[in-house]
Structures are given as C-alpha cells and as structure tokens.
Amino acid sequence: MPTKIGYAAVLVVLAASAIAFAGPSGGSVTGKVTYEGTPAKQKPIDMSKEPSCAQQHPTPITTETVVVGPGNTLQNVVVYISAGAPDESSAPPQAVTITQKGCQYLPHVVPMVVNQELKVVNADQTSHNIHPLAKINHEWNKSQPPGTPPFSEKFDKPEFIPVKCNVHPWMHSTFVVLKTSRFAVTGETGGFTLPNLPPGKYTVTAWHESYGEQTQDVTIAGSETKSVNFVFKAKPY
C-alpha cells in the first residue's frame, strides 16, 4: 500500500539522516579528578576593608586555592586536549565572561581559546582593578569604576595567567588561554567530559592551580568513550 511504503521510506530517510547528521564523529574522553592526602586548609576571607562586599557574605567566603567536593573530588581543574587535536582556525565567536561580584572573581578559573573575547564585568559598588600577570601575553592592568560598562580584551598566545585585583589583595583567579577549544573545568563532582573527538591519539592534560599539571595519553577509536582519571597529591601546606 502506498501508506506502508510511505512510512518505511520516511523511516529509512529519517534513519539515514540521523546517521548522516549525527554531527562530527562522536568519540569522547570523560573522567574524574580526585586528590589523595590532606589538602591545605582554606581560610575565611575577611573583607572588612570593603564593607559593600563584606555585606554580601554574611558567612565569609574562603580562599579557593584548593576547592574540594564530596568523595575527595577536586574542583577548578582545567582538563584539556593538549596534543592530537587539529589546530583551531579561529576563536569561538561567543565571549567568555569574568564577573567581579562580592569582591570575588566568578568563575575562579576562566579557560578560553587564544583570541577569544574576554568580557570583564564589574557588578560591585566598588572600583576593581583587574591585573592579569601575563608573562608571554601583553600584560595590562585596568581599573573598572562601579557602574561602568564591561570591557573586552583578548590574549593571542597560550598561557596560564594568574589574575589579581590590585585593590583587593584576596581576589585571585587564573585565565587559562589555550590553543584548543576542547576543554572542561571540573565542578563539585570532579567530573569532566571532552566530547566530539575524532578517532586518533590524544594527550589529555589536567591542570590545577596548586597541584600543577598531569598528562595522560589516550587513543580514541571510532566513537568510543574513554575514561581518564587524574589523582593529584594534596599537601597540607
């Protein structure tokens, strides 16, 4: 009957499209980052010198050099493909944003691709002065009075750039400028996923601001998901 053939044809077309339009080949690396040992104690931050920020934290926030989650997971680890992926021809069009709020940098670690737009927002009532301490990239230092619009910058070379606020010494962050857009930052679960990897051999690097870097090689065949875990050694000091 024309209807039955019609349905079958539609199904075949749909299935073929699903296969054809499934996007780039679907291999991925996922994993978890954990620590062993005792991490350094995070200290509460006394913001009394900046009352408009202190007010926003009835319970003071703590330092963020080592942020952990349940099950010994490690947060703020940047996991990325450091070798094996083709170079990106251009930076992603969307901007990455760093917000200064409550005298804190949000997020604490900001990965971005070389030449990707970085938008800096001051959501506080006080002036901030954002100072990325770049050694390879051009070092700049900009004040942002309260109520002024966000400004944009970009970095044209890969680098791990510590960022400080000249006015509020406790504010620290890191700009992680990478050649690749294949990166993830671990959250509370310590987990990460790097999807859409064509078959091939890759080096995965995990970077933590206090514990340094670790790398592992992984080979993806077809569209498998490989599991790569990292364990960092924590020290109390």
Partner 1 sequence: MEEAVVQTTHVHAPPEGFIRKHVFSLDHKVIGKQYFGLALVAVFMGMALSWLMRFHLVWPNTKVPGLDLLSSTGAPGGVITPEYYLSLMTMHGTLMVFFVLTNAPFAGFGNYFLPIQIGAEDMAFPRFNMMSFWVTFVAFLVLILAFFIPDGPPISGWTAYAPLSAVGKDAGPGLAWGQSLWAISIAIFCVGQLLGSLNFIATTLDLRTKGMTFMRMPICTWAWFITSAIGLLAFAVLLPACLLLLLDRMAGTSFFIPSGLVISDRLQNHAGGSPLLWQHLFWFFGHPEVYIAILPAVGIVSHVLITNMRKPMLSAKVIIYSMMSIGFLSWMVWGHHMFVSGMNPSSSLLFSFPTLTITIPATIITLIWLGSLYGANIQLNSATLFALGFVSMFVSGGVSGFFLAQPSIDIYLHATYFVVGHFHMVMGVAAIFGILSGTYFWFPKMSGRMMNETLGKLHFWITFVGTYCIFMPFHYLGLAGNVRRYSSFVNDFMAPLMPVHKFISIAAFITGAAQFIFLFNLIHSRFRGKQAPENPWNATSLEWSIPSPPPWDNFGGKHPVIYHDPYQYGVKGSKGDFVMQDSPEQV
Partner 2 sequence: MGKLFAAILTLVALASAYPIVTHMYVQPVDISTHGHAIDEQLSDTMAEAGFAFLGAQLLLALFVWRFSNRKNGSNVKHLPGGAKLMVATAFILVGTEVLALGVLGQKAWADVYFTAPKQDALQIQSQAGQFAFYFRYPGADGKFAALHPDKIDEGNGNYFGLDLANDVEARDDIVTAELAIPVNREIQLLMHAKDVNHSFYVRELRIQQDFVPGLDLSVHFTATKTGKYEIVCTQLCGLGHYNMKAYLNVLSQEDFDKWLREKASEQ
Q: Which residues bind partner 1 (CB under 8 A)?
A: 126-127, 129, 131, 133, 141-149, 151, 162, 164, 166-167
Site string for partner 2, 130-159 (x = CB under 8 A): -------------x----------------
Binding partner 2 by CB under 8 A: which of 3, 48, 59, 90?
Answer: 48
Residue 237 found at the interface with partner 2 (CB under 8 A): yes
Residue 172's DSSP bridge partners are: 164
DSSP assignment string, the chain: -HHHHHHHHHHHHHHHHHHHTS-S--EEEEEEEEEEE-PPPPPBP--TTSHHHHTT-SSPPB--SS-EETTTEE-S-EEEEEESSPPPSS--SSPEEEEEETTEEESSEEEEETT--EEEEE-SSS-EEEEE--SSSPP--EEE-TTPPPEEE--SS-EEEEEEESS-TT-EEEEEEES-S-EEE--TT-EEEEEEEPSEEEEEEEEETTTEEEEEEEEE-TT-EEE--EEEEE---
Residue 126 found at the interface with partner 2 (CB under 8 A): yes
Residue 233 found at the interface with partner 2 (CB under 8 A): no
Contact 167, 129 (CB under 8 A): yes
Question: From partner 1, partner 2, none, which one binds at residue 235 (CB under 5 to 8 Å depending on kind)?
Answer: partner 2
Which listed range, 7-15, 61-69, 114-122, 153-161, lies at the site for partner 2 (CB under 8 A)? 61-69
| Closest CB to partner 2 among residues 41, 201 | 41
Binding to partner 2 in span 8-37, by CB under 8 A: none
Tokens linked to 126: 């006080």
Contact 88, 118 (CB under 8 A): no
Residue 59 found at the interface with partner 2 (CB under 8 A): no
Residue 164 found at the interface with partner 2 (CB under 8 A): yes
Question: From partner 2, partner 1, none, which one binds at residue 41 (CB under 5 to 8 Å depending on kind)?
Answer: partner 2
Question: From partner 1, partner 2, none, which one binds at residue 168 (CB under 5 to 8 Å depending on kind)?
Answer: partner 2
| Closest CB to partner 1 among residues 28, 129 | 129
Residue 87 found at the interface with partner 2 (CB under 8 A): no
Residue 212 found at the interface with partner 2 (CB under 8 A): no
Burial of residue 87 (CB within 10 Å: 0-12, 13-18, 19+) is exposed
Residue ranges binding partner 2 (CB under 8 A): 40-41, 43-50, 63-65, 126-127, 129, 143, 162, 164, 166-170, 172, 209-210, 235, 237
